[in-house]
Amino acid sequence: MSIAKGILDELDKQYAFSLEEEKRKDRILDVLIPQLKGDKIKRAQVDKIAESAVKFYSTRTTGLEELERKALLNIVKQNPAKALSVYTEVIEAEKKQGQAKIMDNRLVNFYDLVDVTRPEDLTREAWIRQAATMATDPDINNYDDMMMKLMDPDLSLSEIKNLNREYTPYVAPAADPTPDFDYSAINVLEPQYVASVRENIITDAIDLAEATRDRLDDLIRLNPTDPKASKEDLDGDGIIDGEWERALSEVNKILARSQTGILKDEGAVLRSEFGVKSFRDYLPKDNRIAQDSTFQNIYRGIIFDADGNLI
């Protein structure tokens, strides 16, 4: 074989190798570049969600101890999907009439992001201390910088392979598929709403008492000496026939408690048979009042047992 033929064969081999190398580079780039572009878009979307989540939590946790608040906000930045699922549920709950604004410990008790994200080998307190100082940006390559490197025509196959191996595809943080929300922690009514419900029940109780008073007045007027009067409730109205005057006296005592003055005692009106009936009639309109401590205290032993359960 001539020297010239050997040189040509070597050049052919080098060209073939170079061509194959370019093809391999293109195959890697064809996968890696679209992935980079897609990850950049996903990351931008998640960052936007995180911004909204942090804004929500920052305004709702001003009453927390500072270290816990810092930890919680850092955790929110790294788990925006979880935080946004909490936000959605909280806002829906607050749309209910009379619902108190959900903040601070009530928000934490509803869904404890600190505990949900806590590593198994750490206590909640230890995780708070660690999360309060942790970096909140994931350790991933800068997309634009890496894209510029990959666009370099002089980049070798081995360099592209190294970049491909070093790059970790971005995985967007996900919300819990079945979050364990504690709705009892947020089922708290505004004091103003409770006061308005209380006034409605008192008004209804007074109306019932006045209607009963009017009926008793009629019975006494129409039957001043009824020989048929018995000790039984013949009409099923809760009034024992023949004891109308005694019943009227009790009703008038209750009505006197509803008047302005030294005898006024709205609690007595609420605990009367008329107040109890009015409260029970109101429950179907808004059964959340059965969970409110104001009404549980008023009706303890009458409507609620010692544990706050309806009797």
Q: Once rounded to an integer, what is the mean pLDDT over residues 23-48?
A: 84
Residue 246 is which amino acid? R
What integer pLDDT is reported at residue 142 of this predicted model?
A: 76
CA distance 187 to 96: 10
CA distance 164 to 36: 10
CB 111 within 8 A of CB 86: yes
pLDDT at 127 over 90: yes
What integer pLDDT is reported at residue 139 of this predicted model?
A: 45
CB 279 within 8 A of CB 297: no
pLDDT in tens, 54-84: 999 999 999 999 999 999 999 999 999 999 9
Greatest CA separation found in the chain? 147
Distance of CA 92 to the CA centre of its chain: 8
What integer pLDDT is reported at residue 74 of this predicted model?
A: 94
Tell me the two tokens of residue 235: 């009409």
Confidence of residue 210 (pLDDT cuts 50, 70, 90): very high
The residue that leads in pLDDT, 70 or 260, is: 70
pLDDT in tens, 162-176: 888 888 888 888 888
Phi-psi region of 304 (alpha: psi -120 to 50; beta: other; left: phi over 0): beta
What integer pLDDT is reported at residue 135 of this predicted model?
A: 73
CA distance 305 to 302: 8
pLDDT at 232 over 60: no
Q: What is the mean pLDDT of the chain?
A: 85
pLDDT at 50 over 60: yes
DSSP 188-252: -B-HHHHHHHHHHHHHHHHHHHHHHHHHHHHHHHH-TT-TT--SS-SSSSS--TT-HHHHHHHHH
Residue 16 is which amino acid? A
pTM of structure: 0.67
